[in-house]
């Protein structure tokens, strides 16, 4: 039985969602065609305004990330990291590993790097939640002014009709659906229990839980010290929170400019409502780095909340995502290559004890590669009796 390589397993969600996106585009080909036609005839002046707002996101993201790092770091490498994250994020969990390695190379410990990433996400969450609440409270007023109705306005009646027609009118069908549901739930519970037991066994069993808890407490204390080192610097803390507030507002300005480019004269406050509510609903459709889910939610929000036609909404959603995400993928790959060339994302060096004489191999690896070779020092000719020289170990790999 062949084993699927790890890179293929990590890229599988992206491949699956790409296939689903292609199927959805074929299914809604009329709306997609209308959206592409509307985007092709967009006003270039408004697209330039959207591009300026998108470019303004780059320095704010750099300043925001610098506000979470206690040490001094290169602004060029921080910009390259922020550009590389969207492209590498197409592979699940790759962006987290990329940021973790970069922060480790800046001199932070593992706990400090995790604390820096947590602080970055916490600041973005704390700023965005009140904005989303304000937008959600203003959404009914916008819908009443535009006369738009969400797709789920008659969801209850349709669900009740389907339930009576498919299940309640036929008791045998009802029993079959209930049996299948119970079997699926039992299978999910069994798979979850087996996965939990396997994970616990791989980490030493339940007896090692106390030791892992002690290590967690030590890491938490170290992470708190790292966060405290940032808080005591008011300039970095202010830069972190101000840039966290500017980023969603710049995204609203970019979407507002794209809407005007495709001919939708939506006001800036209404765009604020649609963008924040749509992006907040995007995680309900999980995908790698929001691929296609944000396009779908933004187009649905523009039609269901703002009352725009399907073609204009799809064109605005495609133009917005092309500027803020898809057009940055080649630049992100180039930035990733730059970081790799500058050794800014290589594994941090680890100090290992030297191997004993006669040991068959070295299990540890250096910070540049994972291949070691053993070389023996031959006794010089005519050196006489005596102990053999000790074996030396060298790195046989290349970066």
Q: Is the pLDDT of residue 383 over 70?
A: no
pLDDT digits (tens, 9 = 90+) for 335-351: 999 999 988 887 655 55
In this prediction, residue 385 carries a pLDDT of: 53
Helices 234-261, 110-146: inter-axial angle, 10-degree rounding? 40
Position 48 scores a pLDDT of: 95
Give the C-alpha separation, 238 to 38, whole Å: 41
Annotate 302-360 with DSSP letters as a single string: HHHTS---HHHHHHHHHHHHHHHTGGGHHHHHHHHHHHHHTTSSSPPP---PPPPTT-S
What is the DSSP code (8-state) at residue 363? -
pLDDT at position 254, please? 96
Is a pLDDT exceeding 70 seen at residue 134? yes
In this structure, are residues 347 and 101 in contact, taking their beta carbons and an 8 Å threshold?
yes
Q: What are the angstrom distances between the C-alpha of 180 and each of 30, 129, 163, 171?
A: 37, 39, 16, 14
Placement of tokens 């009140």 in the chain: 130
Model confidence at 288: pLDDT above 80: no
Mean pLDDT to the nearest integer, 5-27: 67
Mean pLDDT for the chain? 77
pLDDT category at 304 given cuts 50, 70, 90 is confident
CA distance 316 to 243: 25
pLDDT band at 35, cuts 50/70/90?
A: confident
Calculate ∠ Cα 221-222-226, nearest 5°: 115
Alpha helices in the chain (DSSP H): 6-27, 29-40, 44-66, 75-88, 94-105, 110-146, 155-163, 171-202, 209-231, 234-261, 268-281, 293-304, 310-324, 329-341
Of the chain, the end-to-end C-alpha distance in Å amounts to: 33
pLDDT at 381 over 70: no
Q: Does residue 372 sit in helix, strand or coil?
A: strand
Please tell me the predicted confidence (pLDDT) of residue 162: 65
d(CA 107, CA 124) in angstroms, rounded, equals 24
Residue 59 reports pLDDT greater than 90: yes
Mean pLDDT (whole number) for 170-179:
75
pLDDT of res. 26: 78
pLDDT for the residue 144: 79
Mean pLDDT for 70-85 is 87
* Most confidently modeled range among 1-10, 96-105, 212-221: 96-105
Provide mean pLDDT across the span 2-22. 63
More confident residue, 57 or 354: 57
Report DSSP state, residue 207.
Answer: G
pLDDT of res. 233: 73
Which one is predicted more confidently, 48 or 144?
48
User: Among 9-23, 136-150, 180-194, which is the least confidently predicted range?
Assistant: 9-23
For residue 164, the tally of other CB atoms under 10 A from its CB is: 10
Contacts of 143 (CB under 8 A, 6+ apart): 149, 150, 304, 305, 307
- Least confident span in 144-158, 197-211, 230-244, 274-288: 144-158
Percentage of the residues of the chain whose pLDDT score is greater than 70? 70
The tokens for 156 are 């209850």
Q: What is the pLDDT of residue 149?
A: 62
Split at pLDDT 50, 70, 90, the class of 281 is confident
pLDDT > 50? residue 4: yes
**Average confidence (pLDDT) over 277-292:** 77
Has residue 308 got a pLDDT over 60?
yes
Rounded CA separation 50/260 (Å)? 10
What integer pLDDT is reported at residue 53 of this predicted model? 95
Q: How far apart are CA 91 and CA 337, in angstroms?
A: 16
Distance separating alpha carbons of residues 125 and 380, to the nearest angstrom: 68
- Which residues make Cβ contacts (< 8 Å) with residue 276, sequence separation at least 6? 128, 131, 132, 134, 135, 248, 252
Kindly report the backbone phi and psi dihedral angles of residue 277, in degrees, each rounded to the nearest multiple of 5, phi listed first.
-65, -40
Is 0.85 surpassed by the pTM of this model? Answer: no
Percent of the chain with pLDDT over 90: 27
> Residue 288 gets which letter from DSSP?
G
Retrieve residue 43's tokens.
């006003």
């Amino acid at each position: 039985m062949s084993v699927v390589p790890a890179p293929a397993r990590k890229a599988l969600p992206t491949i699956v969602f790409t296939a689903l996106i292609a199927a959805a585009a074929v299914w809604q080909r009329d709306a997609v065609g209308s959206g592409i036609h509307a985007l092709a005839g967009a006003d270039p002046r408004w697209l330039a305004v959207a591009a300026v707002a998108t470019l303004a996101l780059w320095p704010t993201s750099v300043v925001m990330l610098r506000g979470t790092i206690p040490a001094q770091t290169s602004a060029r490498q921080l910009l390259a990291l922020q550009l590389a994250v969207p492209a590498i994020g197409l592979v699940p969990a790759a962006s987290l590993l990329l940021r973790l390695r970069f922060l480790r190379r800046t001199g932070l410990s593992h706990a400090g790097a995790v604390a820096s990433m947590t602080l970055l996400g916490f600041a973005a969450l704390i700023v965005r939640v009140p904005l989303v609440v304000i937008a959600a409270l203003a959404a009914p007023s916008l819908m009443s002014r535009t006369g738009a109705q969400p797709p789920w306005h008659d969801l209850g009646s349709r669900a009740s009709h389907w339930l009576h027609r498919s299940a309640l009118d036929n008791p045998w069908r009802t029993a079959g659906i209930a049996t299948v549901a119970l079997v699926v739930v039992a299978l999910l519970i069994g798979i979850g229990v087996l996965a939990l037991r396997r994970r616990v066994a791989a980490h030493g069993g339940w007896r090692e839980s106390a030791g892992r808890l002690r290590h967690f407490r030590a890491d938490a204390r170290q992470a708190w010290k790292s966060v405290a080192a940032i808080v005591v610097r008011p300039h970095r803390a202010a830069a972190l929170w101000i840039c966290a507030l500017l980023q969603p507002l710049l995204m609203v300005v970019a979407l507002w400019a794209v809407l005007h480019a495709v001919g939708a004269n939506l006001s800036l406050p209404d765009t604020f409502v649609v963008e924040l509510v749509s992006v907040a609903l995007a995680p309900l459709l999980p995908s790698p780095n929001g691929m296609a889910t944000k396009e779908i939610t933004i187009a649905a929000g523009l039609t269901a909340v703002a009352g725009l036609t399907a073609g204009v909404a799809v064109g605005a959603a495609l133009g917005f995502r092309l500027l803020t995400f898809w057009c940055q993928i080649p630049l992100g790959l180039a930035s990733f290559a730059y970081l790799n060339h500058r050794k800014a994302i290589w594994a941090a060096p680890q100090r290992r004890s030297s191997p004993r004489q006669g040991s068959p191999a070295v299990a540890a690896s250096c910070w540049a590669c994972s291949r070691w070779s053993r070389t023996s020092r031959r006794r010089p000719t005519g050196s006489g009796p005596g102990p053999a020289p000790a074996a030396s170990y060298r790195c046989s790999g290349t970066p």
